[in-house]
């Protein structure tokens, strides 16, 4: 299972990548996509939608289940990954690359400080398996 060191993570298994001083990209982790199995549909928010941290902002549907995706930071959606409409399986094949879900302008970039580092996320996964 991959946990890139440069990303931040939520306990809900979302990852956050800083793409500019005012925008972050969000997706679900390798761990989450493995738990879901083959992804067949992704429900995404609309550009301009605003969410509070920990609020559901969409769903990922797999052959096994439907799971909500939670916003790791408070902010507004500035872009959605249109490729997921026709290729939802990108979440399985490239969760940290082409499988990203939304790009967000956080209300406060310091919200990222509340998220887990890669090492903390790995430790969290270990504690969940116990």
pLDDT score at 36? 94
CA–CA separation, 56 and 79 (whole Å): 17
Model pLDDT, residue 128? 83
Residue 1 has what pLDDT?
A: 85
Q: Residue 130 pLDDT more than 80?
A: no
User: Each residue of 20-40: pLDDT tens digit?
Assistant: 989 999 999 999 999 999 999
- The pLDDT value recorded for residue 34 is 95
- The domains found in the chain, sorted by start residue, are 9-108 (2.40.50.100)
What does pLDDT average to over the chain? 96
As to burial, measured by CB atoms within 10 angstroms (0-12 exposed, 13-18 middle, 19+ buried), residue 82 is exposed
pLDDT tens sequence across 39-98: 999 999 999 999 999 999 999 999 989 999 999 999 999 999 999 999 999 999 999 999
Residues 6+ apart with CB under 8 A from 73: 16, 24, 53, 104, 106, 107, 111, 112, 115
């Amino acid at each position: 299972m991959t946990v890139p060191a440069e990303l931040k993570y939520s306990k809900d298994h979302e990852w956050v990548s800083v793409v500019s001083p005012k925008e972050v990209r969000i997706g679900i982790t390798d761990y989450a996509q493995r738990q879901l199995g083959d992804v067949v549909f992704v429900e995404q928010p609309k550009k301009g939608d605003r969410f509070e941290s920990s609020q559901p902002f969409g769903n990922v549907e797999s052959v096994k289940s439907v799971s909500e995706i939670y916003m790791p930071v408070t902010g507004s959606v500035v872009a959605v990954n249109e490729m997921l409409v026709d290729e939802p399986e990108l979440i399985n094949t490239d969760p940290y690359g082409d499988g990203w879900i939304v790009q967000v302008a956080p209300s406060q970039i310091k919200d990222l400080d509340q998220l887990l580092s890669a090492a903390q996320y790995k430790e969290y996964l270990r504690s969940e398996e116990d």
